[in-house]
Amino acid sequence: MAAVAKSRDSILAGWDKALAEIADGKPPFKLCKERGWPWATFSAVADERADAYARARDSGWKAIADECLSISDDGSNDTYTDEDGRTKTDHDVIARSRLRVDTRKWLLSKMLPKVYGDRTALEVAGPDGGPLVLQLSKAFAGAAAPVAAAPAPSAPPGTVTP
């Protein structure tokens, strides 16, 4: 129990600096591992200070999105010079950069789907792409008869209608 209290005190003492690192895009789990903080204790403190933690995480996601651009734009290690002085493309470095960007994009799409997620839409159309026509019917005396449309609701008293 004393170890948990000590780690909690350590987290509280370093809370502001930890939030700054999270806001810069450092994953909280990695931060805890580097500092020797128990993840469960850190999570409990983060829950108690949810507003500040949420703001830091939001900034951190934006930093990770910016990092995707930096990784994509950095071509400094994409080529090398071999023993014969010829410039060669290092496909392993390019593949690793692609993996780094794709991993960040996937994570962003899951954590902030409204901002970074794939947009999906369902479109329903009638024959030949025309409007969809629905016909409601009610069984009456063994035969289907069309159901009359309900009258439009009247406006409440005091409402001006055009």
Q: Please report, rounded to a whole number, the percentage of residues in the chain having pLDDT higher than 90.
A: 64
- Min mean pLDDT across 33-37, 68-72, 114-118, 158-162 is at 158-162
Find how far residue 130's CA is from the centre of its chain: 35
Q: Between 3.40.640.10, 3.20.20.70, 1.10.10.10, 1.10.10.60, what CATH number should domain 2-116 receive?
A: 1.10.10.60
More confident residue, 25 or 119: 25
Dihedrals phi, psi of 135, to nearest 5 degrees: -125, 120
- Give the H or E element holding residue 29: helix 28-35
Mean pLDDT, the chain, integer: 86
From 58, 21, 71, select the one nearest 42 (Cα to Cα).
Answer: 21
Q: pLDDT tens across 107-158, in order?
A: 999 998 888 888 777 778 888 888 888 777 776 555 555 555 556 566 666 6
Q: pLDDT tens across 91-105, in order?
A: 999 999 999 999 999
- Torsion angle in degrees (nearest 10) through CA of 53, 58, 62, 65: 90
Q: Please report, rounded to a whole number, the percentage of residues in the chain having pLDDT higher than 70.
A: 82
- Decide: 108 and 116 in contact? Cβ < 8 Å: yes
pLDDT at residue 154 in the model: 66
- Which residues are within 8 A (CB) of 15 and not within 5 positions of it... i.e. 6 or more apart? 45, 49
Task: Report how far residue 99's alpha carbon sits from residue 86's, in angstroms, rounded to the nearest whole number.
Answer: 27
Task: Report how far residue 14's alpha carbon sits from residue 11's, in angstroms, rounded to the nearest whole number.
Answer: 5
**Domains in the chain: boundaries:** 2-116
Considering Cα of 92, then 94, then 96, then 99, what sign does the dihedral take? negative
From 78, 96, 98, 97, select the one nearest 87 (Cα to Cα).
Answer: 78
Tokens representing 117 are 């997620």
End-to-end distance of the chain based on CA atoms, in angstroms?
Answer: 72
pLDDT at residue 42 in the model: 96
